[in-house]
Structure 1
Amino acid sequence: MFDADSGFDVYQHTQTDARAAQASPRELVLMLMDGLLDEIARAEGHMLAGRLAEKGQSVAKAIDIIGGLDSALDLQQGGALAENLHQLYDYCGRQLFSASVNNDASQLLPVLKVLADLRAGWQGLGTEVDA
């Protein structure tokens, strides 16, 4: 399950699981966004270093996280907001795929911008609002 060289990765995974179990829906989205942004940054580093296999793994993880965020949307009840988020997630996934296929780190920048803006919006909701 873990490719860790040390127990730190296991510890970190356990801590993340514990945080997720106690998190509100809003906090879960923020955790996913943080993980997504971190994974895209890793993908960028792998691209720049020429580590193609690792790049592919990071991009796949990022696309999976986007898929999870997208699948949580309620397009029936969420109206225009849910539809707009769905379209943004779709754009981000396609852009990540293109960046990976073309091994072009510059294609990650618009995705990072969109996701950072979305994350800031979720952060700005405050703890008094449930997602």
Structure 2
Amino acid sequence: MNYTHNQAAMNKYAQVGNQSTAAFANPHRLIQMLMEGALEKISKAKGFMKNGDIAKKGEHISWAISIIEGLRVSLDHTQGGKISENLESLYIYMNSRLTQANLNNSLEMLDEVTTLLVDIKSGWDAIPQDVIDEHAKSDAGKRPASLAKARI
């Protein structure tokens, strides 16, 4: 098996692993996974941008935009109030900057979005486990996990 086939197999294995993890993850972990995925796509886009691979750069930036849009639509404005409104504005801003970064080949804009997303993720990661558990209990039975929204 050559490198290309090895890489394809490894990518498929990682995809199946991520799908398995997502199937059993609570809503809090799903949001973490989305943020991790967006950060990974932005990082890869930076590498492709540096190497002049315009097609792959655009593909990974588009993927990051889609992930951040998924974060935006997962916001629960009835529970989240002002915080969810602020996050929505920030997600819209990040997607705008990613679009501009793609058009202008701007590493600085990619770095800006990375910094913003890392800041949000660090806050999300700092939520105490007892709060996560309580949230999971209050959501149990209300709706299918696949339709659960983040309460931000």
TM-score, reference length from structure 2: 0.80
Identify which of 8, 11, 14 aligns with 1:9: 11
Identify which of 54, 59, 62 aligns with 1:60: 62
Aligned-partner Cα distance in 2 for 1:65–1:8: 22
Which residue in 1 is equivalent to 2:71?
69
Is residue 107 of structure 1 aligned with residue 131 of structure 2?
no
Please provide the CA RMSD for this pair: 1.5
Which residue in 1 is equivalent to 2:30?
28
Counterpart code for 1:78: G
Give 3-state SS (helix, strand or coil) of 2:79's partner.
coil
Counterpart code for 1:18: S
Counterpart code for 2:91: Y
- Greater helix content: 2
Aligned-partner Cα distance in 2 for 1:41–1:54: 12
Query: 1:10, CA displacement in angstroms?
Result: 1.2
Which structure 1 residue ranges, 4+ long, deviate > 4 Å from structure 2?
none
Query: 1:118, CA displacement in angstroms?
Result: 0.6
Which residue in 1 is equivalent to 2:118?
116
Query: 1:11, CA displacement in angstroms?
Result: 1.1
Q: How many residue pairs get matched? A: 129
Aligned-partner Cα distance in 1 for 2:26–2:112: 28
